[in-house]
Amino acid sequence: MTYRQAAKFYDLFGSKNDVDFYRGLALQCGNRALEIGVGTGRLAIPLAQAGITVVGIDNSIHMLRWARTKLAEESQLVRKHVVLKKGDMRNFDLGLSFPFIYLPASTFDHNTTAEEQNQTLDCVHKHLEKNGVFAFDLEQVRVDAPLNSWWIDRRRVGRRRMVVRSIFTRRDLKKNVCTLDLFFDIYENGRFDERYHEYGDVAIIGKDQIIKLLEQNHFTIENIYGDFDLSRHRKMSPKLVLVTRRV
């Protein structure tokens, strides 16, 4: 899911409740961080505003283009704190190590096979300083959730435009994969103007599975939360939020 022309609408619907969580961890770990799946810079820019130097990679040139557009509106000091690079989380080599690496917005879920998941964790491990912190979050699917679901939300852009996002999901329980179709419909003064479509597969990863993967890839788990408010993780929690260290 590369968010082609729809990249410009990503921030309208992107999560807002994770900024304090990742910024707080970055400040605790020092003044440098690597963000995997930097997207539009939704998180990298607030971290840079706090004085943290962020190297951000993403496999989507469209998301990176939008991130650079947003970054150009920031002060020179903030711009100096953000480095954007094209890269795939499964296979990248920056020749650098970091005290803090984070992989937000359930981006790890886009690794739909065990091979891809191990490749990503191996890349993270190679770029993380000894005793460095790696944090990320995963969506949690309730066992009683329907196999197919459809929901709609909308956001206003200025006085005349409305963006309506529709999401259709299909779960394959045998493969533990969820297929997503995202439709962005743009209305101008109440009249339909254009549509963008994005689609892709994401993995359904449970708590026990991710713990095993992390341990196999030489990470020790410090905390597991159920959301970014640091609440205890339970079966009904909306997320798995993990804070780990390199062994």
CATH of the domain at 193: 2.20.25
In a shared domain, residues 216 and 183: no
Note the pLDDT of residue 122: 98
pTM of the model: 0.94
Q: Are residues 225 and 193 in the same domain?
A: no
> Do 54 and 122 lie in a common domain?
yes
Q: For residues 71 and 47, state if they share a domain.
A: yes
Mark whether 67 and 15 lie in a shared domain: yes
Kindly state whether residues 61 and 130 are assigned to the same domain: yes
What are the φ/ψ torsions at residue 59 (nearest 5 degrees)?
Answer: -90, 0
Residue 230 sits in which domain range? 5-140+205-246
pLDDT in the model for residue 183:
95
- The ranges of the chain with pLDDT < 50 are none
The pLDDT value recorded for residue 156 is 94
* pLDDT for the residue numbered 136: 98
pLDDT at 121: 98
Q: Are residues 31 and 152 in the same domain?
A: no
Residues 140-187: tens digit of each pLDDT: 887 777 899 999 999 999 999 999 999 999 999 899 999 999 999 999
